[in-house]
Amino acid sequence: MENNKTKTKDYHKDIQIGGMTCINCANRVERGLKRIDGVKFASVNLATETAFIISDREISAQEIREAVKWAGYSVLEGDREDLSQIRYKKSRERLILAWIITAPLSILMVLHMLGYHIAGFVLIEIISVAFLAFYCGLATIKSAWIAFRHFHSNMDTLITIGTVTSWLTAVLNYLGLPIISFGTIGGMIITIHLTGRFIESNLRDKAAKEIKALIALQAKEATVILNGEEIKVPIEMLKQDQLIKVKPGERIPVDGMVIEGLSAVDESFISGEPIPKTKERDDEVIGGSVNLSGPLIVKALKIGEESFLSQMITLIKEAQGAKVPIQALADNITNIFVPIIITLATLSALFWFFNLNNYQPFLLRAKEIFPWILITGNKYSFAVFVFISTVVIACPCALGLATPMALVVGSGIAAKKGLIIRNAEAIQISKDVGYVLMDKTGTITEGKPAVIEHNLPEEELNIIASIESNSHHPLAQAIASKVTEKIKIDEVKEIPGEGVEATYKGAKYFIGRPEKSEEYTVYQRKGQTVVEVWKEKNKIGYIVLADKIRTDSKSAIINLKKLNIIPIMVTGDNDITAHAVAKEMGIEEVYAGVKPEEKLAIVRKYQATGKKVLMIGDGINDAASLKGADIGVAMGKGADLALDSADIVIVKEGISGLIHSITISINIFKIIKQNLFWAFLYNVMAIPMAMLGLLHPAISEGAMIFSSITVTLNSLRLRKLD
């Protein structure tokens, strides 16, 4: 039974960040947020351009703005959809304008290269590319300048260096210096970059559509009944215990209880079941579900951040910003990547400046394979050509997106299947799970036991039921339902794994585990549970409870075995009952009569074999073992969603979600590894080619954008799990 503990309240905030372009930007914003006093956790997600913080006090908007400004970026305020639309419209307009200028400019460049010299072409380049860089690509230039001012670098640093260097060659050529103009190439670099960012942004929005769909489930307003009148109010204005009228076709705005009415309610976003559930007086309803048939009067029980849907969205956003251990490698590389690339590009330029004549034969032979190679005797021009190609090809954009894109898509798919992966490390561990330890009550069974037999006088049963009403344990709640008259109980004390003690009118009661379980073998063989009732150290009776096995439990256990994972039952119930249920489920290893503290020892025993251990429980008595296991999975609903001990929370009923969590985690990690492999391979192959003068800057930029889009598209392959 549950052991109540005082817990310090955590404050959660979700923030939209403007101006980030690569993982270095995200890491700097994250460091800025962590500097705020009271912040316990901060995570910035490049893929969704959001930040998520957990603090032990309420953090003001001003503090957050200052911390983000310190990092060199800005907090975006307003409706997220509106901001997205404004950004989309603005970026599309600038992209169209960029291509209107770049397309004819590129044609003129080709004609110029073929010998059709256009009078004043270099001046056209200077003016056109200046407009492209400092108007159409202003956000990129700003981002690079912000990074420079704050003594760090990002993807836009390389793009800006490549674009501005190309533009400066046109300026120097116009001034009469002996250097070939690459001005048009600078325009092509910024335009291709804007094109790639536009496509990438749309793909990111597509990747995050599941979380957007959840947010869309939140009602904007509610009809409140005040003094007999119906008044429409914004959802933010609702208060606890208010009466709300929900008409057919409307979304239920809050978690609450039906006070009046009868209707069918669509809760498919929680249960995944398309069949509506009938709701009548005293039934609980969840905000975000849809009232289908009749009007309902609902009493608000949980509002705002306390509601089930808000908790679910918050936890998913937290999960999307988390980091898989393998990501540390990519982060460490990208943190030093830009300075290294600028150094390599400079060294390459110097090499070709002093050795161009010696390696002209190599370039002539290479041009037969790569026709875009620049053949010139001008060492200044070729050195600049190599420098621009190298800085452009090396942008670590794909590396920065490799992990967050997979997490965004994967966690969204998991959410649709009723799973919240709270700890990203679980994704990397899932592939190595060898044992699954599972509780019985509330995990294999429904956790909704009912009293089917007892031998207590009605008066004593009412006392016992009143005592048990102080506990949230499923068995206690089943007994509490037998209350016929509310009475005041004194000195209630729960003993985890044993039962509950209380005093009523000076008499001490104990309800819990039988002293001699063999006396109840006839019930236990049927998989039923028995609790004994003691008064003043004298046994006065017993209560028999039955808990239905979940319909999906057996198939889930079969599927675990197919994954070469051994299922093990670890329960506080007696040996006979435990084995009866285990036999029906096909579970061969059983630990019965186990106390909560003993479950952790069993977890350690299997960890000692060298294999990873996953523990799944109902989150009441299993906190220690959930935390101690390599992966802790909680069967959560409502308030249980926020369970701190769990790495993964199964929102929907049934342990089949466990199979989904393992398969989704394995596939997310597989995609992350593929993304990182291709991102690393791309840079390892492309950078030396650019340094050797074998790549054209425009091709370099196109290849860089292609690598980022490839990573995003590969992440979207996770949707096949949907």
Q: Which residues are catalytic?
A: 439
Centre a 10 Å sphere on the Cβ of residue 117 and count the other Cβ atoms it contains. 9
The one-letter code for the residue type at 358 is N
532: enclosing H helix or E strand = strand 529-535
Q: What angle do CA 170, 175, 179 make, to 5 degrees?
A: 55
Centre a 10 Å sphere on the Cβ of residue 90 and count the other Cβ atoms it contains. 11
Q: What whole-number distance in Å separates Cα of residue 30 and Cα of residue 574?
A: 50
**SS3 for 42?**
strand
Q: What whole-number distance in Å separates Cα of residue 636 and Cα of residue 642?
A: 8
From the list 180, 183, 145, the residue with the least C-alpha distance to 164 is 183
Q: What whole-number distance in Å separates Cα of residue 448 and Cα of residue 443?
A: 11
Q: What whole-number distance in Å separates Cα of residue 608 and Cα of residue 624?
A: 17
223: enclosing H helix or E strand = strand 221-226
**SS3 for 1?**
coil
Do 129 and 121 meet the contact criterion of CB atoms below 8 Å apart? Answer: no
Q: What whole-number distance in Å separates Cα of residue 573 and Cα of residue 596?
A: 11
Question: How far is CA 146 from its chain centroid?
Answer: 28
589: enclosing H helix or E strand = strand 589-591
Contacts of 636 (CB under 8 A, 6+ apart): 420, 619, 643, 646, 649, 650, 651
How does DSSP assign 119-186, residue by residue? TTHHHHHHHHHHHIIIIITHHHHHHHHHHHHTT---HHHHHHHHHHHHHHHHHHHHTT-S----HHHH
Backbone phi, psi, residue 294, to 5°: -115, 160
Q: What whole-number distance in Å separates Cα of residue 547 and Cα of residue 396?
A: 55
Q: What whole-number distance in Å separates Cα of residue 64 and Cα of residue 479?
A: 49
Q: What whole-number distance in Å separates Cα of residue 94 and Cα of residue 98?
A: 6
Q: What whole-number distance in Å separates Cα of residue 697 and Cα of residue 384?
A: 10
Beta strands in 397-449 (DSSP E): 419-421, 433-438
Which residues is 530 bridged to in the sheet? 544
